[in-house]
A and B are shown apart, each in its own frame.
Chain A
Amino acid sequence: MSAPPAPAAAGPGTGEPLLRVTGAVKRFSGLTALAGADLTLAAGEVLGLIGPNGSGKTTLVNCVSGALRIDEGEIRLRGRDVTRASRARRARSGIARTFQNLKLFGDLTVRENVLVGRNASPRGPSGGPSRDGGAAPAETPKDDVEGLLRDLRLEHVAREIVSTLSYGTQRRVEIARALAGNPRVLLLDEPAAGLNDGETAELKDLIHLIRTERGCGVLVIDHDMNLVLGISDRVQVLDEGTVIFEGEPREAFEQPRVVAAYLGAQ
């Protein structure tokens, strides 16, 4: 693994990190899923978000992507407040995600799925002006999609209806769709779930490539500790909706609080 950038490194051209969540609180009737969680993500950084089941990892991802609104706190993308922005709006300002349970457009082809993803890009189908300071090279949208299909080894199934493909291939389609919008922030919610060892190794390389070539900030949630600790520059451990550790991946499980959270011991 290459040397990690300094935590909370500044995003391009601003004094702010790429993504900053401050004091996020989310309650579901009686249950407090997030109790003042903080999170920062820099461009070109891979952040691993780990924690026991029910610790609020997916809720935090849902709040960042806009699927849920936080009750208190603030979410800033490159310094801009997006706390109240709609899901579609956040997607267009550069937040892309994949889902824990695949959510593909089942009756559309692989290429069509990726084409829909291009909507999130301001220079996407409507050919609007390029996002200022964007890390990705300015390609024409069409090349973008064909290039992505090639990079993710989806070229040969581009015209297949996506629901007929194997699970591992569908995972790659979902990542291709998320990348098609040229996101700045990529949220991967359990990307290795259901993948075999070979596919997981491939995923590792892919995440590395996304970070280095596209300069995305990548947030990864997964239960596969080898994957998360192996690819992350930094990890955050969540427990009961608060961050109990933040720092080097290899140090995480040296912390008594982290071990206690996972094993339930005192």
Chain B
Amino acid sequence: MMLRLALRTDSPPGLLGRLGATAGALLAAGVVTLLGGLLFMAPTMAEIVLLFGINAILVIGFQVFVGNTGIVSFGHVAFMAVGAYAGGIAAMPVLDKEITLPDLPGPLAGFAVGFVPALLIGGGAAALLALLTGPALMRLSGAAASIATLGLLIIVSNVLAQATPLTRGPQSLFSVPENTTFAGVYISLAAMVALSAWFKWSGAGLRARAVRDQPAAAEAAGVSVLRARLWAFVLSAFITGVAGALYAQLLTAFSPGSFYIPQLVLVVAMAIVGGIGGISGALLGTAVVTVLNELLRRVESGVSVAGVDVHAPSGISFAALGVALILMLRWRPAGLLGAAEVQFEARPPVPADDGPARPAGAVPPVTTGRSPAEG
């Protein structure tokens, strides 16, 4: 028996396999954390490193739903917004609430919670919204489902902008305590990575992926299409809501406009670049897009390369993101990693004569020929 690291798309058999796959995903998160920790030493990089960790959680939340159900959601930023407002208001000290939100209903005005409960409240509020809207949304498939989730985002954004006693309406909500730390973000990331890996390889995750591939056949095997999708939707909303609550306690001030189309485009781009089917891909995609974005933003504000001053027109970073997205969809539609996951395998190497020859330890093809558009 030996332990080896593999990049595979299939389900690890048994409990040990699930543990190995979860540990593999955690290792990927650990590598990201280590790199983040090194960069965090530089004061100018601190906020970028924290935002990166939060975006990674967002993309993982997004992929838990999109990867397992094949439905492209344009509504996940709504769960981020709900998580940010719920977590932010819950964490706000009572005295600050009296000033910023004087019309807050009594039960909400009289309490303030710490960092971790605020994250759970943010995630829980988003999961509740998913549980309430899911039974209607999850009956839809394909493009209809995607457009309906976009509808959810528009509705939530408008409700937040109008619910002035709760949110200060379209104005910025401020005075959220700045509780988000490096440890807070990256411990949350590890927890969310473990949660989503465990789900992916669980019975519920398997049923969701079966419905994704062949809804009719899944039903003929006794799987409820609605229930299989709903669990993935609720879990992904929870993870996204936690990211929202982290975001709120990092920025301390935000408005409904912070959670709209630009944020949506960023999340979708990160997921597509990494590969929509997998957790390892979500981490990689977030890293690539963040680095690309930061580099271009520096070029925008002017850098000197080999003595020559380079000054790019502003807005170039967002345009470059669009170009990256188009190139990706054209040349590698399944993303950098596709549905493959980093996994630990506690198995003896497969002998060469056993089954279709695939040398032990070899990396299998990471794409499965499905484009994200097909889901």
Contact = CB atoms under 8 A, between A and B. Distances in A.
A119 B222 CA distance: 6
Interface residues of A, number: 39
B368 A161 contact: yes
Interface in B190-231: 203, 206-207, 209-210, 212-214, 216-225
A171 interface: no
A178 B277 CA distance: 26
B207 A119 contact: yes
**Interface size band for B:** 20 to 34
A134 to B, nearest CB: 15
Nearest to B369: A163
Given A116-B207, A159-B10, A177 B214 contact: no
A178 B221 CA distance: 7
Interface stretch (A92-100, A195-203, A220-228): A92-100
Given A105-B209, A111-B13, A119-B207, A87 B219 contact: yes
Nearest to B204: A125
The CB with the most chain B CB atoms within 10 A, among A65, A119, A163, is that of: A119
A112 B221 contact: no
Nearest to B10: A109
A107 B368 contact: yes
Contact of B214 (A66, A103, A111): A103
B240 interface: no
B339 interface: yes
A180 B224 CA distance: 17
Contact of A109 (B11, B207, B222, B225): B11
Interface in A174-201: 177-178, 180-181
A104 interface: yes
Interface of A: 65-67, 86-88, 91-92, 96-97, 99, 103-109, 111-113, 115-117, 119-121, 124-125, 156-157, 159-161, 163, 177-178, 180-181
17 contacts: A66-B219, A88-B222, A91-B220, A99-B216, A99-B217, A103-B217, A103-B220, A105-B218, A107-B209, A108-B11, A109-B11, A112-B11, A112-B210, A160-B356, A161-B368, A163-B369, A181-B222
